[in-house]
Amino acid sequence: MQPLPLTARHARRLWIAAQKLDLQAPFGKGPAAVARAVKHLGYVQIDTINVIERCHHHILFNRIPDYRRTDLKAAQSVDKSVFEYWTHALAYVATADLPYHLAIMRAGVAMKKWYEDLDPDDVKPVLRRIRREGPITIRDVDDEPVEKSHAWASRKPTKRLLQLGFVDGRLTISQRQGMVKSYELIDRHFGWPPRPRAATAGQVSEYLLERALRSQGVVSLDSVCYMDAPRKPAIKALIDRRVRAGQLVPVTIRGSEKVAHFAAPATLEARSGVVPDGVHILSPFDPLVIQRKRTRMIFDYEHVFEAYVSRAKRKLGYFTLPVLIGDEIVAGLDLKTDRTGRRLLIQAWHWFAAGRPRAHKKAIEEALDRFETFQLAE
Question: Which pLDDT tens digit goes with each residue over 199-222?
Answer: 999 999 999 999 999 999 999 999
Q: How confident is the model at residue 179 (pLDDT cuts 50, 70, 90)?
A: confident
Burial class (CB in 10 A: 0-12, 13-18, 19+), 38: buried
Q: Across the strands, what pairs with 332?
A: 322, 350
| Residues in a beta bridge with 184 | 172
**What is the pLDDT at residue 147?**
54
Has residue 121 got a pLDDT over 90?
yes
Above 90 in pLDDT, residue 117?
A: no
Mean pLDDT over 42-54 rounds to: 93
> How sure is the predictor about 116, in pLDDT bands with cuts at 50, 70 and 90?
confident
For the chain, the domains span 24-190, 279-376
**C-alpha to C-alpha distance for 226 and 358, rounded to whole angstroms:** 38
The answer to whether residue 145 scores a pLDDT higher than 60 is: no
- What pLDDT band is residue 157 in, cutting at 50, 70 and 90? confident
Residue pLDDT, tens place only, 52-108? 999 999 999 999 999 999 999 999 999 999 999 999 999 999 999 999 999 999 887
From 248, 227, 261, select the one nearest 11 (Cα to Cα). Answer: 261
CA distance 362 to 378: 27
Edge-first strand order for the sheet with 279-281 is: 279-281, 320-325, 328-338, 343-351
pLDDT above 60 for 144: no
pTM (2 decimals)? 0.93
Q: What is the pLDDT of residues 317-359, one digit of tens each?
A: 999 999 999 999 999 999 999 999 999 999 999 999 999 999 9
Q: Is the pLDDT of residue 155 over 60?
A: no
Share of the chain above pLDDT 70, in %: 94
Mean pLDDT of 7-19: 96
**Which pLDDT does position 111 carry in this prediction?**
60
Residues 6+ apart with CB under 8 A from 92: 38, 43, 44, 46, 56, 72, 76, 82, 83, 84
For residue 120, pLDDT over 50 is answered with yes
Average model confidence (pLDDT) across the chain: 92
pLDDT at position 152 is 43
Question: Which run of H or E residues covers position 328?
Answer: strand 328-338
Alpha carbon of residue 233 to chain centroid: 24
Q: What is the mean pLDDT of residues 179-192?
A: 96
User: What is the pLDDT at residue 146?
Assistant: 45
92 beta partners = 44, 84
**Is the model's pLDDT at 151 over the cut of 50?**
no
- Look at residue 1 in the predicted model and tell me its pLDDT: 75
